[in-house]
Amino acid sequence: MEEKQNVKAEALRYIILAVQRHGNRILNDLLKSIGLTASQAEVLRTLRDRKGLSLKELGQLLICESGSPSRLVERLVRDGLVEKIAHSKDSRYVTLQLTQTGKEKEHLVENIEKQLYGQLNQAYSEEELELMCTLLGRFLKGQPITETLKKRGYWN
């Protein structure tokens, strides 16, 4: 008798995967026009909102990566969107800031993300969005990632 439940759990598992991929594809397609990936865009948005972050602090704010975003940032530096600044007191730290180009791209990202959110708002009412967040969020209760979500303002 547990089999039917498992089928539903399995269905949810794969639907979550499919939705995540689908949304990511939508966003990446939109971002392609400005030569960014969704993960890179998340870094730009985060660096704009919080200045002077270290690599470690940035890593604790990203949902897209659980480890350290060394290489993600490396590519943004290579592409001239982010600068690394040595910390004067503790040279283990690197602090990050957007370059002028980075700031300009960040602004474009904002608008592109609005298009994605527009699609979500078209598909769902505010109540439904909240309901999904609450239900899905229940599965994350007690997990480290909830700290990140709280810091970002996506968690009560």
Partner DNA sequence: AATCAATAAATGACTAGTCATCTATTTTTG
Partner DNA sequence: CAAAAATAGATGACTAGTCATTTATTGATT
Among 49, 52, 66, 107, binds a second copy (CB under 8 A): 66
93 binds DNA (CB under 7 A): yes
148 binds DNA (CB under 7 A): no
Stretch touching a second copy by CB under 8 A, among 1-9, 50-58, 80-88, 90-98? 1-9
Name the token pair of 137.
């969020």
Length of the chain: 156
Nearer to DNA, 38 or 98 (CB): 38
Nearer to DNA, 22 or 107 (CB): 22
135 binds a second copy (CB under 8 A): yes
Amino acid code (one letter) for 43: V
82 binds DNA (CB under 7 A): no
Handedness of CA 120, 126, 127, 132 (dihedral sign): positive
Q: DSSP secondary-structure letter at 130? A: H
56 binds DNA (CB under 7 A): yes
At 93 the three-state DSSP class reads coil
In DSSP terms, which residues pair with 95 in a beta bridge?
Answer: 54, 85
Among 49, 70, 104, 107, binds DNA (CB under 7 A): 70
**DSSP characters over 4-55:** HHHHHHHHHHHHHHHHHHHHHHHHHHHHHTTT--HHHHHHHHHHHHSTTEEH
Name the token pair of 89.
């007191």
Pick what 139 binds: a second copy, DNA, none; C-beta below 5 to 8 Å, kind-dependent. Answer: a second copy
150 binds a second copy (CB under 8 A): no
Site residues, DNA (CB under 7 A):
21, 24-25, 28-29, 37-40, 54-57, 59, 64-68, 70-75, 84, 89-95
